[in-house]
Chain A
Amino acid sequence: MSQNEPVIPKENSFLAEIVQASGETLQVCYQCQKCSAGCPLGDAMDLLPNQVLRHIQYDHREKVLGSKTIWICASCYTCSVRCPNDIDIARIMDTLRHMAIRSGITPGEKDIPVFHSVFLDEIKSRGRIHELSLILKFKSKTRDFLKDTGIGWKMFRLGKIRLLPSTFSGGKEIKEIFNSFEKGKNR
């Protein structure tokens, strides 16, 4: 075995699951913390990106999937670019979000997963995002209507808010792409 070959994760471990699903060899992380030092959102996270990787290596499934961090990540890929071991950490965050949704573990952030699902529903209904209805749907789910009204009016006057959605003939096709997935066909 060459010296540079990564450790093979234990079968059925959380680590093995993440390595398999993300395609990233995160067992080579040696905790240099460059990812966390460059993260623009690090101060809002409960686990820093390097800590997330460490907890995965230790198989702390609940701790990681229930963390705020995986939802706060803005996918700016700064961590992935900084990593000296070429681990695409932002991609691992995506994988963790998929797992968190499927696992039924209570998410560490309440509103962000709701936003993700509203965003997806919006694409499913028309194939494109219509921001006004996206925001209205999100606000009706989080019961917070008044926060953005001031700036909303300003943008409306500058012509930055479209009242009617932009649609296209393929809108229905997009629904088909998703529905077939949900019915479990051709996954």
Chain B
Amino acid sequence: MERMILYPGCLVLSRFHEYELASRQILSKLGIEALDMEEFCCCGSSLVSGVRDDWINLPAYSLARAERLGMDIITLCGSCTNVFLRANFYLEKDPSLLERANSRLERLDLGYAGTTTVRHIVEILVDRVDEIRESVVSPLNFNVALSHPCQIMRPSEILPEQDTLSFQAMRGIVSALGAEVVDYPAETDCCGSTILLFDRAMALKVGKRKLESAIEGGAEMISVCCGNCLLLLDRYQSQMELKNGGRRMPLISLPQLIGLALGFPQDEMGVFRH
């Protein structure tokens, strides 16, 4: 069994247990043992890199910890993935930056050589899409709109060369489950969640635009793969006053959706916690 570290990130850790638990179950079904790393720190999100030019030391700390354990990291949230990918990219490109980061880590008896690979769960799943397709026991017969974890593939310079992270990744997985994937104009838009905590009105406006576009496209539910999307589009949906007669647009994370198609019981997949 392949062993990897599951890095839930602060947001998923404290708010979306169902996403984390479903991910663990799906990963173990696919032969990956998802281990915890006790000493991980907050990645800093896109917020710390906005105020401190030494933001890179936060991701460097967690990366160094993972390197010591000799395992790669699986992330669940778009922001964490983005921060780690950028950190790895800049540290590799600029040896003096790596040296500076290491001089801090040294005081903590740590060091980072730059070998920890970070992959978002979508990337892990898309590599095993055939296995998933073969294990489907109850095909999903409804229309699913996708909200992609936008930050995992941006900016383009940090993308690894293999193109498993194109916007088609989630699409391939969801259609392998038997569901119809709905196209809608706002599909690749950012959901707006990163601004939620400090400018709620603006975030709700951006989220509403996205949800209404999905509703117009004929979606019966939206599948997401990021804690930030879950936070805004699911938890704050009641404040958006959607133009669909007051019905709720169900949101579900990709691992939960896979779990349902693979025949895991609904309560084990935490579908009632949304």
Question: What residues of chain A have their CB less than 8 Å away from a CB belonging to chain B?
Answer: 21, 40-41, 44, 72, 74-78, 80-81, 86, 88, 90-91, 93-94, 97-98, 101, 111-117, 119-120, 123, 127-131, 134-135, 138, 147-148, 151, 154-155, 158-162, 166, 168-171, 173-174, 176-178, 180-181, 186-187
**In the complex the two chains form, is B154's CB within 8 Å of A128's CB?**
no
Set of chain B residues within 8 Å of A155, measured between Cβ atoms: 15, 235
1/0 per residue B188-230: CB within 8 Å of A? 1110111101111010001001000000000000000000000
Complex CA gap A160/B13 in Å reads 10
Q: What 10 A-B pairs have minimum CB-CB distances, sorted nearest first?
A: A77-B154, A76-B190, A75-B46, A80-B155, A129-B10, A115-B198, A170-B39, A127-B41, A74-B194, A162-B14
Closest CB-CB distance, A53 to chain B, in whole Å?
15
CA distance in complex: A162, B17 (Å): 11
Given contacts A111-B198, A135-B197, A160-B15, whether A74 and B192 have CB atoms under 8 Å apart is yes
Q: Which residues, 9 to 38 on B, are CB-close (under 8 Å) to A?
A: 10-11, 13-17, 38
Residue in B100, B154, B155, B273 whose CB lies within 8 Å of A186: B100
Shortest A121–chain B CB gap in Å is 11
Cβ of B235: which chain A residues have Cβ within 8 Å of it? 151, 155, 160
Pair A180/B107 contact, Cβ less than 8 Å: yes
Interface contacts beyond A128-B40, A151-B239, A187-B100: sample of 5 additional A-B pairs, CB < 8 Å, sorted by A? A21-B53, A72-B202, A88-B157, A166-B10, A168-B40
Could you say which interface size class chain B belongs to? 35 or more
- When chains A and B are docked, how far (Å) is the Cα of A112 from the Cα of B103? 32
On B, residues with C-beta under 8 Å from A are: 10-11, 13-17, 38-42, 44-54, 57-58, 61, 65, 82, 100, 103-104, 107-108, 150-151, 153-157, 188-190, 192-195, 197-200, 202, 206, 209, 235-236, 238-239, 273
Contacts A72-B202, A78-B190, A80-B154 known; A176 to B11 CB distance under 8 Å?
no
Choice from B11, B38, B53, B195 contacting A169 with Cβ under 8 Å? B38
Main secondary structure of the interface of A (DSSP, over half): helix
Chain B proximity of A130: nearest CB distance (Å) = 7
- The reply to whether A91 and B48 form a contact with Cβ atoms under 8 Å apart is no
Are B58 and A174 neighbours in the complex by a CB distance under 8 Å?
A: yes
The 8 Å CB contact of B49, one of A44, A94, A138, A170, is A94
Decide: B155 and A128 in contact? CB cutoff 8 A: no
Residues on B with beta carbons closer than 8 Å to the beta carbon of A116: 47-48, 50-51
